[in-house]
Amino acid sequence: MDIIDYFALERLYRERRKVRQKVYVMAELGGLQREGKIIKEQDGRWLIEFFPYESPDRLEPSGRLYMGIRDFEIHPVDRQIFDEYVQALYDEYSGET
C-alpha cells in the first residue's frame, strides 16, 4: 500500500507543482496536530514546512522537517484528489481502464 501511496503522492505533487500550487498535509508533532505543505521530495522522504501553531497557552513556530509517507496524512482539502490518483494507479496495475 505504501508504494502506491508514494507514487500517487508523487503524481499529485508534480501536477500541483506545474501550476505552482502546494500539497497540504497534517501530522502529529509533539502531541499537536500540525498542518503544513510539501516543499520537495528527496530520497523517498518529503520535506514539509509546518505552519505556526497558536493556542492560548502555547506558541509553536513554523519549521521544516523531512518525513516518510507513513508519518503524515494528506490534508482533507487534497484527500479526494489524492484518492483519485491512488485509484488510477490501482487500475493501471490491475489492467483495468
Residue 41 and residue 48 in contact, taking contact as beta carbons nearer than 8 Å: no
Q: How many angstroms from the chain centroid is the CA of residue 7?
A: 12
Q: How far apart are CA 59 and CA 73, in angstroms?
A: 22
Q: How far apart are CA 58 and CA 32, in angstroms?
A: 10
pLDDT tens-digit series, residues 14-69: 999 999 999 999 999 988 899 999 999 999 899 999 999 888 888 889 999 999 99
Half-sphere exposure of 56 (CA within 13 A, CB side): 0
Confidence of residue 97 (pLDDT cuts 50, 70, 90): low
